[in-house]
Structure 1
Amino acid sequence: MLQEPGHGLDLAGANKAGHQLFFANMTRSLRLLQGLRLSPTAKIRATDVLQLRQYSGNVISTIDVLAAAGLLIEDRPTRIERYFAAKTSTLPPVMKDQLEVWLQVLTNGAHQAPRQIPRDPKTIRAHILGIEPIIHAWAEAGIQSFAEVTRADITAALEETTARRHIAGNGLKSLFTTLKGRRLIFANPTRGMKASPKGSTIPLALDAAVIREELNSPNPVVALAVALVAFHALTKKQLSALRLTDISDGHLILDNRDIPLAAPVRTRLATWLDHRNRTWPESANPHLLINRRTAPRLLPVSRQYPWNGLTLRTQVLREDRILHEIHATGGDIRRICDLFGLSVEGATRYLNTVEHPDLTLEGEQVPRT
């Protein structure tokens, strides 16, 4: 019988009871939904599954099961659609309708001129983030339609924009190009406008003591996550998507790259896998990182897990690792592109620090154990 030292808790028994309760709730939820089906073969809308909350039903796992069985109609608003609605709800009706056309083109792509492939949700969010203050300012000034916007309006708006000028300019170009292509405006006021210069920050090295403290965290999932970023510069997205099968014989297969894991990473990996197997022995979740919420399911953990509450930020820790590598190799840009999967443009940001008089790195490369 497995017990957690010092607490006398039967973890194996507790997890078995939890799994039994989970499947009982799942069966009950599916029986409740059966009454909503028009026929024995009819599919069920995701929005109908959400109604299970008022009956204490299991919403997330029920949606997973129905999707896996091919019985789900996904009609829930996406995160981007909810974000878009929140940012445009107070705009004039015509402007809002025009923006909805633009959103549909960004999300689904377009086969008619101007043709466009669907954009990544992050790109769409950046476009909305960049133009949102500008279009609200136009609406407050009395503009009811984007057909009324002139080149002078755009130039003035961009001149007043500082930190988001680059993404604002890209967002406005995308918007007016789409509206002109759909004949919702008479002319594209952004045509021929030069792209706004892209702002760039200089990556800075972290204090090795701060990294070492988190590397030696008593929480095994924190120690492993920090190690994977500190030694191999993984992103939040890559971490949450890692599967158990991505690691074999001390190597990590990531985006067609074969990465030999550093010794401190292998040590923390073994500790985490032991903890994972003791805590959730019956979990079928294929992902490397799991928690109490995802262990009974097949979902990845949130990208914020386990970083909430830590002093370290993933992006800054990743930048620290790449920064040390570019200095250790004397500015070998090809090496960091191959090692970390960066583009030449992305790697140049780190290369520019090599000759920077205020960024000479001294001492050992961070993560030492």
Structure 2
Amino acid sequence: MLQEPGHGLDLVGANKNGQQLFFANMSFHRRGAPALTPEQRAPWAHRMQNKLGDVASVADPGTQPLFEMPPDPAVLAARLRAENRELTRYCASIVRDHAIRFGWSKRQRNDVTRSLRMLEGLRSSPTAKIRATDVLQLRQYSGNVLSTIDVLAAAGLLIEDRPTALERYFTAKTSTLPRVMKDQLEIWVEVLTNGSLQPPRQSPRNPRTIRAHILGIEPIIHAWADAGLQSFAEVTRSDVTAALEKTTSRRHIAGNGLKSLFTILKGRRLIFANPTRGLKASPKSSTIPLALNAAVIRGEFNSPDPVVALAVALVAFHALTGKQICELRLTDTSDGHLTLGNRDIPLAAPVRTRLATWLNHRNQTWPDSVNPHLLINRRTAPRLVPVGNNYPWAGVTLRPRALREDRILHEIHATGGDVRRVCDLFGLSVEGATRYLNTIEHPHLADAGPQVPRT
């Protein structure tokens, strides 16, 4: 504004009565170039706007903010009272379709609409896409998060930037490590997660396997960091051997994790030598399954909560895992039978009674839910996803794994050690059934009497 033709920009004069809010000499305009119309600059945006008839449909990622500033509650409340907002109008049909398809209540539908209005006020520009982490902030304003994310994803306006459970776990375990060590671990986890075609080739691993590797090596790498090591290139064969000798409970898991780590780092030429090369695998540590208190099982088995009673009954009678219970569908139960993969399980009478009680409770509580899974809750009823692994065990004194072991242990003692029957009944491998078979006449359990937990 103050630059004269043919003269340079007077920075001192420009800042005489104020503060410069731009970087000088960063822009260059070609003289004589014809000015482009908005249609010529972005023809795809113009066509899309004409097609959809709404500015919110032209969704671009937007620019990165210079700094984060919390919104003014008064301004946000004023924007919430505005009925005709671009984002709300654009997503109105999608909200209506989701409400009909998933059986949303009127309150939930209004909550999603209200959340979209709040997001309209939080957006950096009218055409910017919305990050999932920004939607998570709606909890402090009593907004609906999960259903709003589903609507934005269906509208193509969502940027999925939420960290996964594995990423959160990795960050929590490695936040205090040296920078070089953490960078090397990030490369290792990225290769395990996405796989690699670069030698050594690696297929993507299950997140539970990666979590087990991190769990096994976490105390070892923290001990190395406390000893002054800054990089895994400084680790020697003696360091690995000494660390594994001190590890007792998770030695097998730690050994596999260290082998995977150093093999990938050596393949990426981030270390000079692989200290685990030729190292023998540590033997697996086996625990002895023990019987549970029958009174505790009976108390949870007769729980007034129908979903708890059903889950405990399925594990106590048929030894289902917690994951299998979460993934059960309504079509898996028919005529008193449960179809689980290739297995056809006749349900016990107490299980059928509790199954009928739960289905009645489900139909009364969520009559319009179309979720195909057997177990649902308040969060999954208006969606199609299964419940979490901790449902409904969060407030229960029993764990599904311990209860499953108790059931199999009771069966192996009742049949006199019939491994074939146990394998067919519970879908176990011979190696898995042998763990329970070893409890019969175990030298440390011989004086404790029979291990049958109940009659």
TM over 0.5: yes
Give, in angstroms, the shift of residue 218 of structure 1: 1.9
Percent identity over paired residues: 78
CA contact (8 A) 1:130 1:171 kept: yes
Give the equivalent residue in structure 2 for 1:172: 258
Structure 1 residue 88 corresponds to structure 2 residue 145: no
Give, in angstroms, the shift of residue 22 of structure 1: 0.7
CA contact (8 A) 1:29 1:62 kept: yes
Q: Given the alignment, which residue of 128, 131, 137 partners 2:214?
A: 128
CA contact (8 A) 1:211 1:312 kept: yes
Structure 1 residue 206 corresponds to structure 2 residue 278: no
Q: Secondary structure at the match of 2:344?
A: strand
Q: Given the alignment, which residue of 156, 167, 187 partners 1:101?
A: 187
CA contact (8 A) 2:413 2:451 kept: no
Structure 1 residue 241 corresponds to structure 2 residue 349: no
> Once structures 1 and 2 are overlaid, which stretch shifts more, 31-40 or 142-151?
31-40
CA contact (8 A) 1:232 1:340 kept: yes
> Which stretches of structure 1, 4 residues or longer, exceed 6 Å deviation after superposition?
37-40
Distance 1:96 1:323, change over 3 A: same
- Tell me the C-alpha RMSD between the 2 structures: 2.5
Distance 1:103 1:67, change over 3 A: same
Aligned counterparts of 1:150 and 1:161: Cα–Cα separation in 2: 17
Give, in angstroms, the shift of residue 64 of structure 1: 2.8
Aligned counterparts of 2:451 and 2:228: Cα–Cα separation in 1: 57
Aligned counterparts of 1:245 and 1:32: Cα–Cα separation in 2: 40
Structure 1 residue 139 corresponds to structure 2 residue 225: yes
TM-score, normalised via structure 1 length:
0.87
Give the equivalent residue in structure 2 for 1:217: 303
Aligned counterparts of 1:62 and 1:337: Cα–Cα separation in 2: 45
Give, in angstroms, the shift of residue 250 of structure 1: 1.4
Q: What CA deviation, in whole Å up to 9, does each residue of 1:176-232 have, x standing for no partner? A: 011111111111100111111211111112232322222122221111110000011
Structure 1 residue 230 corresponds to structure 2 residue 303: no
Q: Given the alignment, which residue of 87, 95, 116 partners 2:202?
A: 116
Q: What CA deviation, in whole Å up to 9, does each residue of 1:37-69 have, x standing for no partner? A: 9787x8643223224335432111212334456
CA contact (8 A) 1:220 1:275 kept: yes
Q: What CA deviation, in whole Å up to 9, does each residue of 1:103-153 have, x standing for no partner? A: 101111122222222212221111111111111111111111101100000
Aligned counterparts of 2:358 and 2:348: Cα–Cα separation in 1: 15
Aligned counterparts of 1:265 and 1:343: Cα–Cα separation in 2: 25
Aligned counterparts of 2:452 and 2:190: Cα–Cα separation in 1: 52
Give the equivalent residue in structure 1 for 2:132: 46
Aligned counterparts of 2:124 and 2:429: Cα–Cα separation in 1: 50
Aligned counterparts of 1:22 and 1:114: Cα–Cα separation in 2: 50
Give the equivalent residue in structure 2 for 1:4: none
What amino acid is aligned across from residue 265 of structure 1 in structure 2? V
Distance 1:29 1:277, change over 3 A: same
Give the equivalent residue in structure 1 for 2:354: 268
Give, in angstroms, the shift of residue 33 of structure 1: 4.2
Aligned counterparts of 2:185 and 2:220: Cα–Cα separation in 1: 13
Q: Secondary structure at the match of 2:282?
A: coil
Aligned counterparts of 1:115 and 1:333: Cα–Cα separation in 2: 39
Q: Secondary structure at the match of 1:276?
A: helix
Distance 1:348 1:70, change over 3 A: farther
CA contact (8 A) 1:28 1:57 kept: yes
Aligned counterparts of 2:175 and 2:432: Cα–Cα separation in 1: 36
Distance 1:207 1:29, change over 3 A: same
What amino acid is aligned across from residue 115 of structure 2 in structure 1? S
Q: Which has the larger radius of gyration?
A: 2
TM-score, normalised via structure 2 length:
0.71
Structure 1 residue 339 corresponds to structure 2 residue 425: yes
Distance 1:197 1:73, change over 3 A: same
> Once structures 1 and 2 are overlaid, which stretch shifts more, 190-199 or 319-328?
319-328
> Once structures 1 and 2 are overlaid, which stretch shifts more, 51-60 or 131-140?
51-60
Structure 1 residue 183 corresponds to structure 2 residue 269: yes
Aligned counterparts of 2:358 and 2:310: Cα–Cα separation in 1: 7
CA contact (8 A) 2:321 2:404 kept: yes
Structure 1 residue 21 corresponds to structure 2 residue 107: yes
Q: What CA deviation, in whole Å up to 9, does each residue of 1:241-292 have, x standing for no partner? A: 2221221221212233222211110011001111221222222322212223
Aligned counterparts of 2:201 and 2:304: Cα–Cα separation in 1: 53
Q: Secondary structure at the match of 2:339?
A: strand
Give the equivalent residue in structure 1 for 2:407: 321
Give the equivalent residue in structure 2 for 1:10: none
CA contact (8 A) 2:302 2:309 kept: yes
> Once structures 1 and 2 are overlaid, which stretch shifts more, 227-236 or 51-60?
51-60
Unpaired runs of 5+ residues, structure 2, are 1-103
CA contact (8 A) 2:255 2:281 kept: yes
Distance 1:364 1:133, change over 3 A: closer
Q: Secondary structure at the match of 2:385?
A: coil
User: 1:1-80 alignment to 2 at 5 Å?
Assistant: 19-33=105-119, 36=123, 44-67=130-153, 71-80=157-166
Aligned counterparts of 1:26 and 1:338: Cα–Cα separation in 2: 48
